Amino acid sequence: MKYYDSPKIDLWTGRVSNKWLYLHEKVHCTPLTELSEPHKKSIALLGYACDEGIRRNQGRVGAVNGPDTIKSSFGKMPNHLASHVLLQDVGSISCTDGDMEAAQEALSNVVTSLLTKKQFPIVLGGGHDMAYGHYKGIKNHLDAKGGNQTIGIINFDAHFDLRKNTEQNNSGTPFYQIAKDCQKEDIDFNYLCLGIRKDANDRILFETARDLKANYILIDTFQIPFLEEITTWINAFVKNVDHVYVTIDLDGFSSAYAPGVSAASPMGFTPHIVLECLKTIIGSGKLISLDIAEMNPTYDIDGQTAKLAASLMHYVAHNIY
């Protein structure tokens, strides 16, 4: 399949216990051609090795290497997954020719296939442009099942990523593209963005968010002291949709935690508030898929950002089932 690379077994190394104490001992490297509907619950790790959207958005390239770096860090972590839960690395979507739109389409098709085969996808990037392909994959899966099931998008991010794509699609346009698709189909655009910063979004982006009826919480409120209020807002949002797709942009975190991103800033949020929110979202029973975007190893320091991404994955994987 064009734009697809099989899983790399050499990424999965670490301390050896021979007792499945570490995730690299638990994971199965399973090419998509060999993937079948599991007899037990299964988590599928899929890379999106593409930073063409970041380049188009005038960001710092390097996130093309993000997925492999996150997988490598994740594999060294302790394994507390139950024996009846499968963990599978299913490879990566790769964009080497600059055709981001084709890579997004490939991602969409793979996500649809994973969901159809009863996998829980965790997609690792790569630019945030993967959100458009990821969402389309979820929607295509649900449309095939029928019933007009609704999707709510919860984005942990400093940026709206609602830039208009009048010139070209990029890592800053995915949710605008989704909103426009929703308008064409006459369905609601259910979007909640947590951690928005006024110093990271211009006036037009705030106007676009208002026009599209996007929900958001500003960074000065997206903090642990306001957790009760934040939880109330999340629960109200989740209540009105059938499924929740979560996307975490690592550049939303303070650079104290995530220096290895395309648009680093010390003014971002903390991991603790994100984990508390994930607890609420997972507890709803509506989380259908998740991704982590913008991991850029070129600018990471001591693997901090990769470890943060891996720790977020660790939490989700150990709490989703």
Q: Is the dihedral of CA 303, 306, 312, 313 positive or negative?
A: negative
Give the whole-angstrom CA distance, residue 266 versus residue 258: 9
| 10 annotated binding-site participant | no
Determine if residue 158 is left, alpha or beta; phi over 0 gives left, psi from -120 to 50 gives alpha, anything else beta.
Answer: alpha
| 161 annotated binding-site participant | yes
| 318 annotated binding-site participant | no
For the chain, the C-alpha Rg in angstroms (whole number) is: 18
CA quadruple 13, 17, 23, 28: dihedral, nearest 10: 80
The one-letter amino acid code at 83 reads S
| 51 annotated binding-site participant | no
| 272 annotated binding-site participant | no
| 211 annotated binding-site participant | no
190 near 150, Cβ under 8 Å?
Answer: yes
Give the whole-angstrom CA distance, residue 284 versus residue 286: 5
Q: Residue 249 is encoded by which pair of tokens? A: 């942009």
The owner of tokens 């099989």 is 6
Cis peptide before 172, with omega less than 30 degrees from 0?
A: no
Give the whole-angstrom CA distance, residue 104 versus residue 170: 11
Quote the DSSP letter at residue 124: E
The upper half-sphere exposure of residue 89, i.e. CA atoms within 13 Å in the direction of its Cβ, equals: 26
Of 252, 145, 256, 272, the closest CA to residue 201 belongs to 252
Q: Residue 281 is encoded by which pair of tokens? A: 């979202």
Which residues are known binding-site members? 128, 157, 159, 161, 249, 251
Which residues are known binding-site members for Mn(2+)? 128, 157, 159, 161, 249, 251
